Amino acid sequence: MAERSGSDSRRPNILFVFVDNLGYGELGCYGGGAVRGVPTPNIDRLAAEGIRLTNMNMEAQCTPSRSAVMTGRLPIRSGTVRIPLPGQPSGLTRWEVTLAELASSQGYRCAHYGKWHLGDGPGRQPHERGFDEWWGLAETHDSSLWSTSAGYDPEIVPPERLLEGRRGEAAVAVADYDAAARALFDAEAFERGESFMRRCAADRQPFFLYLPLAFPHFPTLPHPDYAGVTGLGDFADAFRETDDRVGRLVGVLDELDIAGDTLVIFTSDNGAEDVLPWRGWTGPWGGSYFTAMEGSLRVPFIASWPGRIPAGGMSNELAHATDIFTTLAAVAGADLPDDRPIDGIDLMPLLDGSSDRSGRESVLCFVADRMHAVKWRNWKLHFIWQEFMGDPPIELSIPRAFNLYDDPRERHDVFLPSNTWVQRPVMAAVAEFWDSVATHPLIPVGTPDPYEPPAAC
């Protein structure tokens, strides 16, 4: 790859590729790749040119993770604790401040191509939340299978639609979203993303490009051009497609001579896909998404910024989805809102090597509106036990403790007799959170606009 040079004459660009349910163990640079039958050379190269984190933690479901990234706040604060239910206001209230709104305030041109999942009603779509333009899906990819389901009646439940919107204009439906459209979805997102970067480069305007892809959310379907290329089925073919498209998009940065002015982030919103026949791999971690297990929360995270982030970096420092908001806001030069708790920490000192610490000691692990576990350093305490998505959550009378260095799959509880001390720092982190809630109450799920917080207690 060509040598890249940077410039400090303007704000850096931000290219954020956010895949959907990618397991920790899938990529070559995280122990997968050829082991899974599909090398990922382009994504591995991106990691080699920058830094990969091995302890990035997301939320247990799609909507909460996207909310945490977009607001820097734990989703329980904003009423986005679960995938929205039909018939209630969904997504973020207008009171929340999004990453795109912060970037826009600093002169960025912002685009979103992919899955939103943070509100489909008036005032809550991407072009109304800081993005200058968007295309994609307001909700999620499951709906692409409706038309093939026995008994499905489009007169009762209309088909999901692909939407397109621009700031200041009404969004319009451009196509139905069925399985055929699902297979074309990521190709369209990448093509639109490339066009957007070229336009911004021609105008010499900094950009925030957010690509929340379909890959590998079920149904994991490759583009027709990639169907059959690996001989290992749709799941593997989709991996080949995504790695190729990421490599092509990063190559455009070189072509436009803006690679040194661009921070690239590649990460996932949750752990491995868990619906057959598209089940993914969590690597060394146990459990499935929709739980507080490591296989649900811990995801690949790669950051590359030639000239700013040293090549070949790796860190196991604790990090969380909310930190992405705070980090990218700092990169964009935006001030954080000061009228609400912001849970994210600026990771840039860790990413650029100026510090070997993330600044984070703990992560509160909520599943919907219940705190199932807390991570503190290399320890994890479970207060509610649920290993897989279909398991019933069990309230524990005595917590289960795991040293994640010794027991990555969370199989052997070591709370009693000698590790009860871990409760002290864990409960201190819990108390700090609930103290903040006493001053800044939680926004209930389904809260409509307009929302104004109650007077500070």
The candidate with the shortest Cα–Cα distance to 212, out of 146, 278, 267, 282, is 267
Distances (CA, A) of 8 to 12, 35, 199, 250: 8, 41, 20, 20
Single-letter code of the amino acid located at 414: V
Q: How far is CA 403 from CA 243, 337, 417, in A?
A: 34, 36, 14
* DSSP H or E run through 406: none
CB 381 within 8 A of CB 427: no
| DSSP string over 307-344 | TTSPTTEEE---EEHHHHHHHHHHHHTPPPPSSS----
Give the SS3 label for residue 397. strand
Element (H, E) at 264: strand 262-268
- Check 110, 112, 117, 217 and give the catalytic one: 117
Give the strand pairing for 51-57 and 319-320: parallel
State the Cα–Cα distance between residues 65 and 60, nearest whole angstrom. Answer: 7
DSSP 199-222: HHHHHT--EEEEEE--TTSSS---
- Tokens 């690509």 correspond to 211
CB neighbour list of residue 397: distance below 8 Å, 6 or more residues apart: none
Pairing label, strands 133-137, 262-268: unpaired
Contact 341, 436 (CB under 8 A): yes
Q: Which residues pair with 71 in a beta bridge?
A: none
Rounded to the nearest 5°, which phi and psi values hold at 61?
-135, 170
25 secondary structure, DSSP code: T
Judge whether 313 and 52 are in contact, CB under 8 Å: yes
Contact (CB, 8 A) for 300 and 270: no
Beta bridge partners of 109: 207
Catalytic residue check, 117: yes
Active-site annotation holder among 62, 110, 200, 365: 62
In sign, the C-alpha dihedral spanning 128, 134, 140, 142 is positive
Token pair for residue 201?
A: 């480069």
Q: Could you give the residue numbers annotated as active site?
A: 62, 117
